Amino acid sequence: MEALLQDLLGENLLTTIVYCSLPLVFILVYALLAILGEVKISAWMQDRLGPMRTGPWGIIQPLADVLKLLQKEDTTPGTANKPLYNLAAFLPFMASYATFAVLPFSSEYVGADLNLGAFYLIAVSSIAVVGIIMAGWSSNNKYSLYGAVRSAAQIISYEVPAAMAVLIIVLFVGSLNLSDITVAQEGGFWNWFVFGGPKGEVTLADGGVISASWANIVYFPLFGATFLIYYVAGLAETNRTPFDIPEAESELVSGYHTEYSGMKFAMFFMAEYANMFVVSAVAVILFFGGWQSPYGTTIGDLAGIRWLGAVEEFGWFTVKGLFFVFVMIWLRWTLPRLRVDQLMHVCWKVLIPATFAIALVVGALVLVV
C-alpha cells in the first residue's frame, strides 16, 4: 500500500500524510453507516420503520444530520471555562483516531507497525478520559460534572480487565505487535484465538516461531472466556448500554456533553462511534483472526493477484469489526442499564479476579503444552 502511494506521489511527507489519513476516510464512511444502522436497527427491533423521509427508506438521514449539526448555533454557557471547554472537544476524537494507527486493516495496511502495538493502544485510548473530565468540569453544569466523574470512574475501572485480557493473548504470542498477533491465527477459523489459537507451527514476521499442535484446544474455554471479558470491558469503556450510566438520559440529560451543541457535540459523537469500532476491531484482532479469512486463504492469493488478496483481507476485517459494532447496538435494545454498585461489582469482584486466574492458568499451560 505504501509502495503504491510512493509510486503515485513520490517519496515525501505528502505520501505519509495521505497514507495516515486513509483511516480518516474509513471513519467518515463508517460513522455515516453506523448512525444509520443505530437508527434503523433500533427501529426494526421495536417494530418501527425509523426515518423514512430523507431519500429512499431514509438512507441519507445521517448526511442530513451532519448538515444540521454544521448549521447549529454553538451555545456555550456564559459561566463555562472557555479554553478548557473548547480544548475538551478535541481530545476524545484525537485519542480514538490515534488508536487507529496500530490497527492492521489488512496485511498491506497498518498505519504504524509498532512493536508496542497492543500496549500503545491501551495507553492512548485512555487519553479520552482526560477530555471527558475536562468537558464535564469546564461546562459548569451539575449534570456534566456528575456524568464526567461517573464516566471516568467507569472507564478507568474497566481498563484493568481489558488490559489483562490483552495481556493473556500477549502471554501466548510473545509479541505486542498486532500484525504478529493476527499472523499467529492464520490458516482457518479453528486457529483463531477464540477457538484456542494456532494448531500448527506459525512463523511470525520477525522470524519468531510459535510451535503449536492440536493440544492447544485446551485453551478454547480460557480464551473464549477472555474474549467475553474483553468485550464486556470494551462495552463499558465506550459508555454503551448496559454500562451507560455516564449518559443516563433519564437522569443526567446526556452526561458530560450536556452543554455541547452543534459541531462540538458531533465531535464527541464521532469519537464515541470511532471508539466502538476500535473496541470491536481489537476484539477481532485478538480473538477472531483480524484480517484472516475464516477458510484460511483468499481468492486473490489463490489466483496470485496481490491487490485482490489485500482487498479481501480488508473486507474480512471490516465485516468482522462491523459485526461486533452491530452486537453493541443490539445489546443496547436488549439489556437494561446497570446501577453504579452493580457496575463496580462486575468489574472489581468478577472480571478482575477472573482475568488474574485465567492469566495464571494460561501462563502454566504455555510452558506445559
Least separation in angstroms between residue 248's CB and other proteins is: 14
**Cell triple for 225:** 472466556
Query: Per CB under 8 A, does 266 bind other proteins?
Result: yes
Q: Which is nearer to other proteins, 171 or 311 (CB)?
A: 171
**Cell triple for 84:** 478548557
Q: Which residues, in sequence order, are CB contacts of 21 under 8 Å at separation 6+?
A: none
Least separation in angstroms between residue 185's CB and other proteins is: 17
d(CA 228, CA 292) in angstroms, rounded, equals: 20
Query: Per CB under 8 A, does 34 bind other proteins?
Result: no
H or E segment and range at residue 202:
strand 202-203
Give the one residue of 4, 7, 14, 24 binding other proteins; rule: CB under 8 A. Answer: 24
Query: Per CB under 8 A, does 205 bind other proteins?
Result: no
Least separation in angstroms between residue 135's CB and other proteins is: 13
Query: Per CB under 8 A, does 143 bind other proteins?
Result: yes
Query: Per CB under 8 A, does 160 bind other proteins?
Result: yes
Query: Per CB under 8 A, does 351 bind other proteins?
Result: no
Query: Per CB under 8 A, does 264 bind other proteins?
Result: yes
Query: Per CB under 8 A, does 81 bind other proteins?
Result: no
Query: Per CB under 8 A, does 83 bind other proteins?
Result: no
CA neighbor of 170 nearest in space, from 189, 186, 184: 184
Q: Which is nearer to other proteins, 59 or 114 (CB)?
A: 114
d(CA 298, CA 313) in angstroms, rounded, equals: 8
Q: Per-residue DSSP letters for 234-281?
A: HHHHTT-TTS-GGG-HHHHTTGGGTT--HHHHHHHHHHHHHHHHHHHH
Q: Which is nearer to other proteins, 15 or 42 (CB)?
A: 15
Query: Per CB under 8 A, does 230 bind other proteins?
Result: no
User: What one-character DSSP code corresponds to residue 106?
Assistant: E
Least separation in angstroms between residue 362's CB and other proteins is: 10
Give the one residue of 33, 59, 69, 130 binding other proteins; rule: CB under 8 A. Answer: 69
Q: Give SS3 for 337.
A: coil
Least separation in angstroms between residue 275's CB and other proteins is: 13
Helix ranges (DSSP H) in 126-207:
127-138, 142-173, 178-183
SS3 content of the chain, % helix, strand, coil (to 5): 70, 0, 25
Segment interacting with other proteins, rule: CB under 8 A, options 50-58, 70-78, 185-193, 321-329: 70-78
**Cell triple for 241:** 448500554
# residues contacting other proteins (CB under 8 A): 88
Give the one residue of 308, 344, 354, 369 binding other proteins; rule: CB under 8 A. Answer: 344
Q: Which of residues 93-112 bind other proteins (CB under 8 A)?
A: 93-98, 100-102, 111-112
Least separation in angstroms between residue 171's CB and other proteins is: 5
Contact 124, 92 (CB under 8 A): no
**Cell triple for 185:** 491465527
Give the one residue of 130, 263, 305, 308 binding other proteins; rule: CB under 8 A. Answer: 263
Query: Per CB under 8 A, does 76 bind other proteins?
Result: yes
H or E segment and range at residue 312:
helix 306-332
Segment interacting with other proteins, rule: CB under 8 A, options 37-45, 132-140, 216-224, 281-289: 132-140
d(CA 106, CA 117) in angstroms, rounded, equals: 15
Query: Per CB under 8 A, does 337 bind other proteins?
Result: no
Query: Per CB under 8 A, does 72 bind other proteins?
Result: yes
d(CA 110, CA 107) in angstroms, rounded, equals: 8
